[in-house]
């Protein structure tokens, strides 16, 4: 039933309110103040009765239906919001254009409604797009085989690999590689970059080790001045920092290339799905044993190097501390 509040009285033209005693013509539906209708004595549209005439409110008095998605006013008979496209009576909202979404997030006072923007993103934005893209083949390999190879942390890697493939990026920050360097690659069974980065790290440590030999007056000390060794150690320290940053930026890209190559080889060698999955799990995943083995080897090398130090260990301890 139509609500006549806000419509004009058909006799006096004044706006009808909630407190008014309103009567309606049974033939055409025109509203009146009861007192106005009694004074008039009949409907002002009586001459049109019987011709199919039906009273309709003026456009300015038609009730508005506020969109639950963006709050924009719409005619009560509207089926879709004229501002954002929301379908009235449905739980699903038609995805508004990006420009409209940004405009909806603007507040009347000129500020920015971050809550609305966050809700719009949750409703159909970044997270859903990321989840959908993670199911797409990466480097021509199905996501389920990637997941089998990568292990428990596959969702995060698939999301990063998918974004790297989508935008053609080679860099994606990896804090594990940034902090632990070669140990990250050993943990992820990426043997080639693991040994390469380990060899680079040891090479960059060589000037400092030679400096320790000179300071300890070892018989194995090279015939190089202390100032030269100090300069080389400083250069090596800068280079070591640069290698650490590069490792953190490109570790995922290197891991992705090596993993993709290994998965393709396994696909070619094991066409049977069940056997292929078993091999993917065995050759993929992570290896704590490799990490422990490398750390143990480094401790042993440190112990062996300490045997080469000379008698002046106080100078060495002073440098270390």
Instruction: Convert the pLDDT of each residue in 67-80 to its tens digit.
Output: 777 666 666 666 77
- CA 2 → CA 28, 63, 76, distances in Å? 13, 9, 10
Residue of 249 and 71 predicted with greater confidence = 249
Give the span between the Cα atoms of 131 and 215, in whole angstroms: 58
3-state secondary structure of 87: strand
For 104-121, the pLDDT digits (tens) are 444 444 444 545 544 544
Q: Answer whether 17's CB lies under 8 Å from 5's CB.
A: yes
Tell me the pLDDT band of 93, cut-offs 50, 70 and 90.
Answer: very low
Q: Residues 230-246: what's their mean pLDDT?
A: 94
**Cβ atoms of residues 125 and 133 within 8 Å:** no
Look at residue 187 in the predicted model and tell me its pLDDT: 97
More confident residue, 320 or 283: 283
Query: In angstroms, rounded to a whole number, what is the distance separating the alpha carbons of residues 65 and 68?
Result: 9
Return the pLDDT at 73.
Answer: 63
Cβ proximity of 174 and 184 under 8 Å: yes
Instruction: Name residue 23's beta-bridge partners.
Output: 32
Residue 18: pLDDT over 70: yes
Angle at 124 between CA 123 and CA 128, to 5 degrees: 110
Sign of CA pseudo-dihedral 39, 43, 45, 46: negative
Average pLDDT over residues 241-259: 95
Among 50-54, 87-91, 300-304, the minimum mean pLDDT is found in 87-91
Separation of alpha carbons 228 and 146, rounded Å: 50
């Amino acid at each position: 039933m139509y609500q006549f509040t806000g419509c004009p009285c058909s006799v006096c033209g004044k706006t009808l309110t909630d407190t008014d005693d309103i009567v309606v013509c049974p033939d055409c539906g025109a509203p009146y103040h009861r007192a106005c209708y009694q004074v008039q004595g009949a409907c002002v549209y009586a001459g049109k009765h019987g011709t199919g005439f039906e009273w309709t409110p003026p456009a300015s008095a038609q009730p508005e239906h506020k969109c639950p998605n963006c709050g924009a006013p719409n005619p009560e008979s509207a089926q879709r919001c004229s501002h954002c496209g929301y379908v009235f009576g449905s739980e699903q909202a038609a995805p508004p254009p990006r420009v409209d979404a940004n405009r909806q997030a603007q507040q009347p006072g000129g500020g920015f409604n971050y809550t609305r923007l966050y809700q719009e993103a949750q409703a159909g934005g970044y997270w859903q797009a990321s989840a959908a893209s993670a199911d797409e083949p990466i480097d021509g390999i199905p996501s389920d085989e990637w997941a089998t190879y990568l292990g428990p942390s596959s969702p995060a890697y698939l999301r990063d690999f998918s974004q790297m493939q989508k935008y053609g990026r080679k860099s994606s920050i990896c804090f594990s590689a940034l902090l632990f360097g070669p140990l990250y690659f050993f943990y992820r069974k990426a043997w080639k970059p693991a040994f390469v980065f380990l060899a680079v790290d040891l090479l960059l440590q060589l000037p400092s080790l030679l400096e320790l030999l000179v300071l300890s007056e070892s018989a194995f000390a090279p015939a190089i001045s202390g100032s030269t060794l100090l300069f080389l150690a400083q250069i090596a320290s800068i280079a070591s920092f640069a290698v650490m940053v590069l490792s953190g930026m490109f570790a995922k890209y290197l891991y992705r290339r090596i993993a993709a190559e290994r998965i393709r080889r396994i696909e070619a060698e094991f066409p049977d799905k069940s056997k292929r999955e078993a091999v993917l799990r065995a050759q993929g995943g992570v290896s704590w044993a490799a990490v422990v083995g490398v750390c143990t080897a480094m401790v042993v090398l440190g112990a062996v190097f300490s045997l080469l130090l000379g008698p002046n260990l106080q100078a060495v301890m002073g440098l270390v501390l």
